[in-house]
Amino acid sequence: MRYRNVCLESFGYTLPDEVVTSDDIEVQLQPLYQRLRLPEGRLELMTGIRERRFWDRGVLPSQKSVESSNLAINAAGIDRKYIGALIHASVCRDYLEPATASTVHHYLGLPDDCVIYDVSNACLGLLNGMIQIANMIELGQIRAGLVVGTESGRQLVETTIDALNRDESLTRNQIKSAVASLTIGSGSCAMLLTDRELSQTDNRLLVAQVRANTQFHQLCHSGEDEAVGSGMQPIMRTAAEQLMREGVATGAVTFERFLADADWSVKEIQKTFCHQVGSAHRKLMLQSLGLDVSRDYSTLKWLGNTGSVALPITMARGIEQGHVDANDNVAMLGIGSGINCVMLGLNWQRALVQSKGTLPESNASVDVDGERPLIR
C-alpha cells in the first residue's frame, strides 16, 4: 500500500501515575518463588523490564482514550469538524457493546457524520487503525481521522500472580508460559492523521505492508472470551520462545516487501520504532532485519509491554526526546500474536506531541543489553 496524500500529524499520550516494579511483582510471588526456589531479580533479568504502570482501579479505557485524543487534537490545532473517522483500536474496551468508540466520540464532541467503530488485533490494533484511516484519506472520503487506544494491564498481572501462587502443582518449566503476562503495563495513545492540505507538518505516510502467518495463531492466547461475566480477569498463555522465533521470521519476510514497496535500502532508514515486548525480542528482531540499535528507541524498561499502544507511545516519546530529525525516514515495525505483522514507512518533518504523565529522562538511553548509551 502506497500513499501520496496522508500525513501523521500529531500524537497524544497519557501514562498512569502508579508504578509497579518487577521487584514488587516478585515480592507478591513469594509463595511461588519459595516453593520453586527461584532467584530474585529473575523477572527483570529475563525481560529487560524494570517497571510498568497501572491505572487506578475502576478507570475505563474510554476515559483515558478521551484524554489522549484531546491531547492529539490540541497538539495539531485542528478544527474538530474535519475529523471524519474515529477508530478505537486497543485490546481493552469498556464493554462488549456498544463500541468504545461511541463513548469516546461523544466526549470529544466530534461531528455526527464521523465514522466510528472499534478494531481489535492484539498488539497491532492501532497500526491497523492507521492504515484504515489512511485509506479513507487517500480515497478522499475524509480529511482527517483519529485512531486511539487504551490498555490496562492491572487485571492481567494480578490475575496471573494469583493463579501462580495458588497452583502448587506448577513446575519451573510450566510457569514459563505465564512470564509474558507479568510484563504487561498500562498506557493510552492517540494518533491524528490528515490530508496534506490540512497538515502543518507534512509528516508523510509513504507505505504500509502487512503479512499474516496464522499457522501460529495458538502460540499466544487468552481463554474463551473472558469479557463475558468474569470481570475482565484473563489468563494468558504464551509459548514465548517459539512466538519470538516465528514472529521475527515473519517480520523478516514482511521487511523485505516493505523495503521494496518503499524503495528504500536498510541504510536509508534513519530511525525505527518497534513493538515493545522485551529486550531479547528487540535484540533478535533488530539483528534479523539488519538494523542498527542506535537508530531505534525503546521504552520497554519503564513501561513494559503496553499492547497495541506500545509502539505509538514509544514513537511519541522518542519524538519528544529529539530522537527523530527533520527529513528522517522512519519505520514503524509491528509484530503481534496471531501471527500478524504491520510495517509503516514515513518521511518525518515536524513534531506535534502532547502528553500527560512522566518517564525518567534516561528511559531510552540504554542499548538492547541494557549496558551502554545509544548513539544519537
Give the position of cell 464521523.
114
Grid cell of 171 as nine digits? 513446575
- Which burial class, exposed, middle or buried, applies to 360 when counting CB atoms under 10 A from its CB (0-12, 13-18, 19+)? exposed
> For residues 61 and 173, is the Cβ–Cβ distance under 8 A?
no
Helix (H, G, I), strand (E, B) or coil at 75: helix
> For residues 347 and 203, is the Cβ–Cβ distance under 8 A?
yes
Q: Which of 240, 321, 226 is nearest to 278 (CA)?
A: 240
Catalytic residue among 97, 168, 361, 371: 97
Report how far apart, in Å, the C-alpha atoms of 132 and of each of 128, 216, 257 are. Answer: 6, 25, 20
Q: Which of 172, 160, 186, 170 is nearest to 29 (CA)?
A: 160
| In 84-219, alpha helices (H) | 100-108, 125-138, 154-166, 176-179
Phi, psi of 283 (to 5 degrees): -60, -45
Cα distance between residue 74 and residue 355, in whole Å: 11
Catalytic residue among 7, 114, 123, 189: 123
Grid cell of 125 as nine digits? 490494533
Q: Is 97 an annotated catalytic residue?
A: yes
- What is the end-to-end Cα distance of the chain in Å, rounded? 31
Grid cell of 176 as nine digits? 514459563
Q: Is 256 an annotated catalytic residue?
A: no
Strands 353-356 and 329-336: unpaired
Give the position of cell 472499534.
118
Per-residue DSSP letter, 81? G
Strands 353-356 and 6-14: parallel
Torsion of CA 108, 76, 144, 100, to 10 degrees: -30
Cα distance between residue 318 and residue 11, in whole Å: 11
Catalytic residues: 97, 123
